[in-house]
Amino acid sequence: MVKMNFGGIIEDIITSKEYSLNKALSVLKDEVIAVIGYGIQGPGQALNLRDNGFNVIVGQRKSSDTWNKAKNDGWIENKNLFSIEEALDRGTIICYLLSDAGQIQMWNIVSDKLTKGKTLYFSHGFGITYKNQTGIIPPKNIDVILVAPKGSGTSLRNLYLKGQGLNSSYAIYQDFSGKALDKVLSMGIGIGAASLFYTTFKKEVYSDLTGERGTLLGAIAGIFEAQYDVLRENGHSPSEAFNETVEEFTQSLMPLISDKGMSWMYANCSTTAQRGALDWKPEFKKATKPVFEKLYESVKNGTEARNVINANSNSQYRNRLNSELKEMENSELWQAGITVRKLRYNKKS
């Protein structure tokens, strides 16, 4: 482990320098890693594990779109691509990478296959943390671990192919074997994590749900819409409103923040922008912190989990989702975005 200083808070972080790929391969040399689900996280994790030399199989429903996707990715039926049930029988480490709703639906089948000494692996703490609602309660005679990449499976795979990785968290819920720590670190290195930081199943899902509903997706989309509307209501054109709301943020400022941090980005803006941003930042924090507190409490008390489970169990949910996304796509804000993005690549060589 390497000790990292986060503004005076010291955390132990694991990287491949401290925990090598060779060590991970040695720890898991006798394991059959069964990746159940080939949707969001499944492909990236399975392919990275395979390319890193681990014994990996994929379990997926036959004749489904994702079954065909797995075949196109080089998984071979009856060699390393099986039905979910057969993969569960063959696997010693069960990577449960179905959606949260899918995990609930498949749990009775999966739980019957979790014989003594196996390992159940998650990349999200939802099912375990909200077990009273999901019914996902693993047997006591197995290890239960988690590695949660801080990004999509597609990003995990693309970064791996570039020789890079995603930061990821890890957690242990049950350590029946006494070897759960080595297993979880080995899995993290195996899937291509750039670094691994410790968490718990509960903290992982609390932070994840808050982030998704907050700055990662919900809050940023709402802020975009609010600023765009105000500019348009005050006579600004769609192109001007979009460029000042979204385009400059995503194409100019976010890369600077990602590369060097917020203060560095501020230092490389005009003095007019610096002063205004520093003056208004406390106002936005004051206005939004109560919303985040309300959001976190909703995550903590299980309301968000209940909403998700109820929505996904509704047979009309997919239609509702498609309608909501279509409404967003067809809004003036994001239609303006289509045009602006085309202009982005209009520079003559």
Rg from Cα positions in the chain: 23
3-state secondary structure of 32: coil
Other Cβ atoms closer than 10 A to 3: 8
| Mean pLDDT value of segment 56-70 | 93
Q: How far is the C-alpha of 313 from the C-alpha of 317, rounded, in Å?
A: 8
Q: How far is the C-alpha of 72 from the C-alpha of 41, rounded, in Å?
A: 17
pLDDT value for 347: 59
pLDDT value for 279: 96
| pTM (predicted TM-score) | 0.91
What average pLDDT is seen over the chain? Answer: 94
pLDDT value for 11: 83
* pLDDT tens, position by position, 102-160: 999 999 999 999 999 999 999 999 999 999 999 999 999 999 999 999 989 999 999 99
pLDDT class of 27 with cuts at 50, 70, 90: very high
pLDDT class of 1 with cuts at 50, 70, 90: low
Q: Cβ distance 57 to 82 under 8 Å?
A: yes
AA letter at 134: T
pLDDT at 101 over 60: yes
pLDDT value for 197: 95
Write the burial class of residue 29 (CB in 10 Å: 0-12 exposed, 13-18 middle, 19+ buried).
exposed
* pLDDT tens, position by position, 297-310: 999 999 999 999 99
Bigger pLDDT: 341 vs 232: 232
User: Which residues, in sequence order, are CB contacts of 202 under 8 Å at separation 6+?
Assistant: 125, 129
pLDDT at 349 over 70: no
* pLDDT tens, position by position, 258-273: 999 999 999 988 999 9
pLDDT value for 154: 93
Q: How far is the C-alpha of 170 from the C-alpha of 122, rounded, in Å?
A: 10
For residue 124, indicate whether it is catalytic.
yes
Q: Cβ distance 136 to 127 under 8 Å?
A: yes
Tokens 């769609």 locate to: 238
AA letter at 317: Y
Distances (CA, A) of 94 to 122, 151, 163, 337: 8, 21, 26, 42
All structural domains of the chain, each given as residue ranges with its CATH number in brackets, are: 2-199 (3.40.50.720), 214-344 (1.10.1040.10)
pLDDT at 42 over 70: yes
Q: What are all long-range contacts of 19-25, with beta carbons under 8 Å and residues at least 24 apart?
A: 19/185, 19/186, 19/189, 19/196, 20/189, 21/52, 21/53, 21/189, 21/190, 23/186, 23/189, 24/52, 24/185, 24/186, 24/187, 24/189, 24/190, 25/52, 25/53, 25/54, 25/186, 25/190
AA letter at 51: D
Strands of 119-122's sheet in order across: 2-6, 9-14, 193-198, 166-174, 143-149, 119-122, 93-96, 33-36, 56-59, 81-82
| Mean pLDDT value of segment 42-50 | 97
- Among the listed residues 50, 118, 124, 183, the single catalytic one is 124
pLDDT value for 5: 73
